[in-house]
Amino acid sequence: MLRLRSSVAHHRADEFASLLRETKGVRRVVQQADEATGHEAYVFVADVEPRCADRLVDQIAQLGIGVDDYVLTRVEVVAPQRRHGRGEDGEDGFAWVEVVGQARANSRPLARYLALINVAGVIAALGVITSSSILIVGAMAVSPDLLPICATSVGIVHRQYGLARRAFGTLVLGLGLVVLTAAIVGAVLKVGGFLPDGFEVEESSLNTLAKTDYSTVLVALAAGVAGMLSFETRASTAVGVAISVTTIPASAYLGVALGAGGIEHALGAAIVLAINVSLLILSGSLTLLLQRWLPNRSGTPL
């Protein structure tokens, strides 16, 4: 369920009220005078079903209501579950405006994103060096690379190519930071004498990270679908590992190969990483396209 809150000038209040009450899927409309302005403006509150959110936002724009005059937020429905929990014109619906909003919020290299992905790079580098699958899984759980990957797909499908370029740039920056961090960790450990003499990255039991086969393709395609579905439902933390299994380990392997020995094996890891990122974006975009054009329960294209 979505919640609309808006402040509308008094001369447009009647027109705006009519729009809300006549739009199918908008319910429980409340109108009252804005206490800060007296009767110069009115505040509206309404419940909006996700399936009609995109149409409603377009109609609000046609009325000339600015984006600063309203806000659309998601509300977790506690009761009654019999209606809202089953998706019958309810919260299981798909709202492009919500997905695009999330994509915009996650398309920039924020400080938290850079910090988390740098931590993931350190952990993954140690995992490659020590052949520790536990450390690799930990790095995948920490990494936030799911967010710019999904934001890139959203930008492509929604034809907001500026958003797609910005999100992809954030992704490249993040994965590049993982490579750099892993290379520094490997080089420091090598100089400090903490690595075995003649250490080569291919000696790691994780050397399959630099090899491409049919499983590479299938895992990346499946992870892209899971990642996009989780991005839409705000469950990205739980599914982030599925995405990162195709990106963080290969990035760390590439970095360790560059910094600690085995540079001749770096090309294989770079190829695996490029293939995985491409397939993640492809499958995520196809998932969105299918949802966009597949008719919903009322028969109206999303």
pLDDT in tens, 20-59: 999 988 999 999 988 776 668 899 999 998 888 888 999 9
- Asked whether the beta carbons of 248 and 140 are under 8 A apart, the reply is yes
**218 against 209, higher pLDDT:** 218
C-alpha 86/C-alpha 56 separation (Å) is 22
Q: State the distance between the two ends of the chain, measured CA to CA, in whole angstroms.
A: 16
Task: Tell whether pTM > 0.85.
Answer: no
- Pair of tokens at residue 282: 């492809």
What confidence tens digit (pLDDT) does each residue in 181-193 have? 999 999 999 889 8
What pLDDT score was predicted for residue 299? 40
Contacts (Cβ under 8 Å, ≥6 apart) of 8: 16, 41, 42, 44, 65, 69
C-alpha 275/C-alpha 277 separation (Å) is 6
- Pair of tokens at residue 51: 């399936």
- Pair of tokens at residue 102: 């999330």
**207 against 173, higher pLDDT:** 173
Main-chain dihedrals φ then ψ at residue 45, nearest 5 degrees? -130, 135
Q: Which CATH number fits domain 2-93: 3.20.20.70, 1.10.10.10, 3.20.20.410, 3.30.70.120?
A: 3.30.70.120
What pLDDT score was predicted for residue 3? 93
Handedness of CA 126, 129, 132, 136 (dihedral sign): positive
Render the burial of 87-108: b for 16+ CB within 10 Å, e for the rest: eebbbbbbbbebbbebbbebbe
